[in-house]
Amino acid sequence: MGDIVRAVEALRRGEFVLVYDGDGREEETDLTLASEFVSPPAVRTLRKDAGGLVCVTLSGGVHSRLGLPLMTDILRTAGRAYPLLEAVATEDMRYDRHSAFSITVNHRDTFTGITDRDRALTISRVAALAREALGRENGWAAAAFTREFRSPGHVPILNAAEPLLASRRGHTELTTALMVIAGLVPSATICEMMSDDGLARTREDAKAYARERNLVFLEGQDILQAWRAWSA
């Protein structure tokens, strides 16, 4: 549990943690930090040192209050008018039963939405609204969200499956669980770590990156065990 304690302390300080999901799944490492601490320099680190897709997770308690659907459900519903959309919504991934992707958003105060500043604003405001939404009724949260954000945008939202780490154990759920354990807003900002050869960084390469920068590297199994102990 020592690495989990170190990870929780680092996240509370607004620092990065590395999370490897597990053998036989994506077998990828994501660079993550608490969404409430995301800043333009943090986004820059994610896109330069990780290089994958910068996404923001939301716990079930938040995305249910907002009424945020999964993107596959949106496509299937729209497929009544546009059959192509229903056809592409077929989830035939080799590593999981379903995707966590919801909609993409930009904060209404952004310009293009893609700059480090713009994405940091969008993500930090998603986190701030998530914090307040947990203490408010569902109607308030949805209305507040539509006032602040528009879609499509440049920040993909990922809906964590509930109960956390029960049926799905992807980076979305693993990192969200870490935020809950740390007592932070249940929203993580994550980005897959890519290699210069165009493939995902190997676990060993990701571990080396963590050692060089004195960052905590966690296996998905570490988080799962900590979650079971924390929620018992």
89 found inside a domain? no
92 found inside a domain? no
87 found inside a domain? no
Of the ranges 136-140, 186-190, 220-224, which one carries the lowest mean pLDDT score? 136-140
For 131-185, the three-class secondary structure string (H helix, E strand, C coil) is: HHHCCCCHHHHHHHHHHHEEEEEEEEEEECCCCCCCCCCCHHHHHHHHHHHCCCC
pLDDT digits (tens, 9 = 90+) for 157-179: 999 999 999 999 999 999 999 99
Q: Answer for the pair 122, 107: CB distance below 8 angstroms, yes or no.
A: yes
We report the CATH number of the domain holding residue 201 as 3.90.870.10
Six-digit token string for 132:
């307040």
pLDDT digits (tens, 9 = 90+) for 30-87: 999 999 999 999 999 999 999 999 999 999 999 999 999 999 999 999 999 999 999 9
28 found inside a domain? yes
Boundaries of domain holding 141: 2-72+100-231
pLDDT at 95 over 90: no
175 found inside a domain? yes
Count of domains in the chain?
A: 1
Give residue 195's pLDDT. Answer: 97
Q: Answer for the pair 72, 98: CB distance below 8 angstroms, yes or no.
A: yes
186 found inside a domain? yes
Catalytic (active-site) positions:
30, 55, 95, 106, 154, 192
**pTM given for the model:** 0.96
User: 185 — phi, psi (to 5°)?
Assistant: -55, 130
190 found inside a domain? yes
83 found inside a domain? no
